[in-house]
A and B are shown apart, each in its own frame.
Chain A
């Protein structure tokens, strides 16, 4: 194996750090979690000139080394721990040419840790338009480092960055600032107490108390040395920040010139409309409407295609493979089960596409700004809007996205209510039921079906907000409201970044859900095709006796036999057992089985029904058609009618059916109390609402 060096990418949020990461590593990326956390750890490999390989780690965005969130804390912990296997040989600080001054604050802090630090100035393509000019050699001299001026948008400067990383050993590790100058007496004491330690590192560990306060102190026995109150520490941090800015200002004064007459007013003009007191909200609403229309309308073509393709695949498998249990398992269990999930790829991809475009363009911050006051009334923060919107893709990243909410109470409430938002796993259920029970037709150019879907999204959002309001009243947690959000400049999203997000997220969804669904469809198939007792084993004989006088065709008799067998199979027995509980909601035992199976994950519902209905039936039919043909044995009307359909839709709107979400909530809140409360409350609510609605509509 050739020699490999560790490179850490560090930078403020919104500097295009991820674009740099993508440009360096391409698609050779791996996403995992930092041990004991749910913080995303992105790694990749980049080949440097002359055979050296760089292991690149994309650290979470941070404004400084004074961590105020879990994500930021990961950065500090890594940089303070020399024994970590990811401890960087070289740090690459990504900055944005328009916010160079603020970005350099982090640069000076990292450099003071005496790690070889490369400065990347990104978005160089904007310099001319913004009237910014830089004297790179002078900046390199003053900052005592190497600078790569790059543009990920135009793919410029990446090679020279690789060259600089390659020669990291020649970069000076002298600090920018003598930290002890902020309080010479205190730092003298420190030095005497810990003669072998680096002063700035000591100071960082001590001062984390004033911020996040989760610094592990394994390496430093610092408890006994604490002579400052939080308030005094803050004062010193403020002093340090001022000193750093003095240094940065002195550097930029000679190294950077900005021709203010060239500053374009595009940002101001866009903000005037997009954050307007009336138009801002109107535009936001129109954007949401467009997204839902797109998910519903545009995705139907590829979806119908996938649906049909899987039906024909099942049929084809049956004709070419030798008859037998293995073929049946494949054609009646696995293929329909997988088809039931793959069909939703177009919609999920669309959803992630829109969300990542909104994030990348900088628009999402404007939404946070617009919504903060409104959300606060419900015990949430404007920053809760981002989790609530990403919740429409998946509750798991949404729960993780609450991390930048500074206030614990607001964050906890957001975590608790996020699972109400309509996640992509609910989509499969919604779509198929809407298609079955909501009539076609249009109102003001929008289809009834799209409007129903929109209503379900609003319902999800509404119940999230309403529960938040209740929780705000119930939870007795002291809140200290503080809220800072950067409003980044508007950018046209980079196609490559959006594409990588869409591909990665869709892949994670398909494989994550796919594994569960595959397992469940095999179990289901086995349960559905085995049975004990006379009714199952002699189904053929019993049914033929029953229908003897009815003059049915051979085909109809076969179908009767198949459904008789299913009813008395193991799964049929289980479903029948719970039927009394769900009958008042308008469901039969088959739906009951699907609901039970979908406690693991909601989208399993459709896959399960697909598997159940395809056992022993004509395979060329699509899932939808098979569901349409089902008759309620009690009332004789179609099983999926308006009343039972609405009841099912509402059940899925409220029920907490996702084990992964429960697991992530446990992790993020560090307690079983909250996920259990979610499970009990949401399921009870779902049952109650479905019951009332069905009894009312029936």
Chain B
């Protein structure tokens, strides 16, 4: 699954973020394998997504979120 599949309040562990289309800036903010990502809020039409990635609070568009592979975190 990907970050775009998360529901509000859910979180997961990043497994892969190596797509060329993911901007380096996002990686620098902590979007790297092994880090936790939580979906805090979505704007209308589910886009953009407001995330907490490893302590960094960022908003990204749905299209990019769908490129970040995750594993659902244990409850």
Query: Which residues of A are in contact with B by a Cβ distance under 8 Å?
Result: 63-64, 66, 68, 98-99, 101-102, 105, 210-211, 231, 234-235, 237-238, 241-242, 245, 268, 271-272, 275, 277, 365, 368-370, 372-373, 382, 406, 480-489
B75 at the interface (CB under 8 A from A): no
Tell me if B50 and A486 are in contact (CB < 8 A): no
The digit string for B59-73, where 1 denotes a CB below 8 A from any CB of A, is: 111011000000000
Tell me if A102 and B45 are in contact (CB < 8 A): no
Residue of B24, B33, B55, B61 near A99 (CB, 8 A) is B55
Chain B residue at smallest Cβ distance from A267 = B57
B74 at the interface (CB under 8 A from A): no
Residue of A101, A238, A268, A368 near B27 (CB, 8 A) is A238
Chain B residues with CB under 8 Å of A268's CB are 40
- How far, in angstroms, from A90 to B9 measured CA to CA in the complex? 43
**A and B contact pairs by CB, cutoff 8 A, 10 listed:** A64-B24, A66-B24, A68-B24, A102-B55, A238-B24, A242-B32, A406-B23, A481-B63, A483-B59, A486-B58
Chain B residues with CB under 8 Å of A231's CB are 20
Tell me if A373 and B56 are in contact (CB < 8 A): no
Chain B residue at smallest Cβ distance from A241 = B27
- How far, in angstroms, from A224 to B25 measured CA to CA in the complex? 28
Top 8 A-B residue pairs of the complex, sorted by shortest distance between their CB atoms: A487-B57, A369-B59, A64-B28, A275-B41, A483-B61, A372-B48, A485-B59, A482-B23
Query: Which residues of B are in contact with A by a Cβ distance under 8 Å?
Result: 17-18, 20-21, 23-30, 32-33, 40-41, 43-45, 47-48, 50, 54-61, 63-64
Tell me if A66 and B28 are in contact (CB < 8 A): yes
- Sample of 19 further A-B pairs with CB below 8 A, known A101-B54, A237-B27, A369-B41: A63-B29, A66-B24, A102-B54, A102-B55, A210-B24, A237-B24, A242-B33, A275-B43, A277-B44, A372-B48, A372-B59, A373-B48, A480-B21, A483-B61, A483-B64, A484-B60, A485-B60, A487-B59, A488-B57
Closest Cβ of chain B to A128, distance in Å, is 18
Main secondary structure of the interface of A (DSSP, over half): helix
Closest Cβ of chain B to A639, distance in Å, is 48
- How far, in angstroms, from A242 to B26 measured CA to CA in the complex? 12
Chain B residue at smallest Cβ distance from A210 = B24
- How far, in angstroms, from A368 to B25 measured CA to CA in the complex? 18
Chain B residue at smallest Cβ distance from A65 = B28
Chain A residues with CB under 8 Å of B60's CB are 483-485
- How far, in angstroms, from A38 to B28 measured CA to CA in the complex? 26
- How far, in angstroms, from A210 to B54 measured CA to CA in the complex? 25
Chain A residue at smallest Cβ distance from B44 = A277
- How far, in angstroms, from A358 to B24 measured CA to CA in the complex? 28
Chain B residue at smallest Cβ distance from A234 = B20
- How far, in angstroms, from A268 to B23 measured CA to CA in the complex? 26
- How far, in angstroms, from A66 to B26 measured CA to CA in the complex? 12
Chain A residues with CB under 8 Å of B29's CB are 63, 102, 484, 486
Tell me if B24 and A482 are in contact (CB < 8 A): no
Residue of B20, B32, B47, B56 near A372 (CB, 8 A) is B47
Tell me if B20 and A482 are in contact (CB < 8 A): no
Tell me if A101 and B40 are in contact (CB < 8 A): no
Chain B residues with CB under 8 Å of A241's CB are 24, 27-28, 32
Tell me if A68 and B20 are in contact (CB < 8 A): no
Beyond A235-B18, A245-B32, A373-B43, whether A63 also contacts B59 by CB under 8 A is no
Residue of A373, A488, A489 near B47 (CB, 8 A) is A373
Chain A residue at smallest Cβ distance from B48 = A372
Chain B residues with CB under 8 Å of A369's CB are 41, 43, 48, 50, 59
Chain B residue at smallest Cβ distance from A362 = B57
Tell me if B32 and A481 are in contact (CB < 8 A): no
Closest Cβ of chain A to B9, distance in Å, is 10
Query: For B20, B26, B27, B64, which residue has the most chain A Cβ atoms within 10 angstroms?
Result: B27
- How far, in angstroms, from A234 to B40 measured CA to CA in the complex? 29
Residue of A102, A277, A482 near B21 (CB, 8 A) is A482
Tell me if B32 and A101 are in contact (CB < 8 A): no
Chain B residues with CB under 8 Å of A486's CB are 29, 56-58
Chain A residue at smallest Cβ distance from B33 = A242
Chain B residues with CB under 8 Å of A277's CB are 43-44
- How far, in angstroms, from A539 to B14 measured CA to CA in the complex? 86
- How far, in angstroms, from A251 to B60 measured CA to CA in the complex? 29
Chain A residues with CB under 8 Å of B26's CB are 484
- How far, in angstroms, from A234 to B58 measured CA to CA in the complex? 21
Query: For A105, A242, A275, A484, which residue has the most chain B Cβ atoms within 10 angstroms?
Result: A484
- How far, in angstroms, from A271 to B30 measured CA to CA in the complex? 21
Tell me if A99 and B56 are in contact (CB < 8 A): yes
Tell me if B47 and A101 are in contact (CB < 8 A): no
Chain B residues with CB under 8 Å of A489's CB are 57
Chain A residues with CB under 8 Å of B32's CB are 238, 241-242, 245
- How far, in angstroms, from A235 to B59 measured CA to CA in the complex? 23
Chain B residue at smallest Cβ distance from A68 = B25
Chain A residues with CB under 8 Å of B28's CB are 63-64, 66, 102, 105, 241
Chain B residue at smallest Cβ distance from A211 = B24
- How far, in angstroms, from A277 to B26 measured CA to CA in the complex? 25
Chain B residue at smallest Cβ distance from A106 = B28
Tell me if A484 and B57 are in contact (CB < 8 A): no
Closest Cβ of chain B to A522, distance in Å, is 51
- How far, in angstroms, from A66 to B28 measured CA to CA in the complex? 10
- How far, in angstroms, from A211 to B50 measured CA to CA in the complex? 24
Tell me if A487 and B50 are in contact (CB < 8 A): yes
Query: For A64, A210, A488, which residue has the most chain B Cβ atoms within 10 angstroms?
Result: A64
Chain A residue at smallest Cβ distance from B52 = A487
- How far, in angstroms, from A87 to B41 measured CA to CA in the complex? 42
- How far, in angstroms, from A210 to B27 measured CA to CA in the complex? 14
Chain B residues with CB under 8 Å of A482's CB are 21, 23, 61, 64
- How far, in angstroms, from A480 to B61 measured CA to CA in the complex? 12
Chain A residue at smallest Cβ distance from B25 = A484
Chain A residues with CB under 8 Å of B30's CB are 101-102, 245
Chain B residues with CB under 8 Å of A210's CB are 24
Closest Cβ of chain B to A256, distance in Å, is 11
Chain B residue at smallest Cβ distance from A238 = B27
- How far, in angstroms, from A268 to B25 measured CA to CA in the complex? 24
Closest Cβ of chain A to B31, distance in Å, is 9
Chain A residues with CB under 8 Å of B24's CB are 64, 66, 68, 210-211, 234, 237-238, 241
- How far, in angstroms, from A481 to B44 measured CA to CA in the complex? 18
Tell me if B59 and A368 are in contact (CB < 8 A): yes
- How far, in angstroms, from A482 to B20 measured CA to CA in the complex? 12
Closest Cβ of chain A to B47, distance in Å, is 5
